[in-house]
Structure 1
């Protein structure tokens, strides 16, 4: 039974993960985001206290 011999299955598992970790991140990182992040201003918004109507 092949389940009792971990040799070839472990090698297939390791090589598939190495392929996954080498190819997939490069394909994902090559995509260009359509919405570039805009820089935020350094000034903080002035917030006042909230007055409840009751």
Structure 2
């Protein structure tokens, strides 16, 4: 039975992992995000305590 011969399947496994781990991440990371996040104002918002009218 030829499907039990590990020689061609092992090579396919190694080359497919080589593609997944080396080639694809570099192609994916080279894409540019069209909407870069903008930096908001760095000043803190003034928060006031809320005094509840307990009676």
Q: TM-score scaled by structure 2?
A: 0.60
Flag structure 1 segments of 5+ consecutive residues without an equivalent. Answer: 49-54
Q: TM-score scaled by structure 1?
A: 0.60
Q: CA RMSD in A?
A: 2.5
Flag structure 2 segments of 5+ consecutive residues without an equivalent. Answer: 49-55
Deviation readout 1:5-54 (Å, 9 max, x if unpaired): 11221121111211222111111111111111123455666778xxxxxx
**For the residues of structure 1 that align with 2:44 and 2:16, how far apart are their CA atoms?**
49
Which structure would you say has the larger Rg?
2
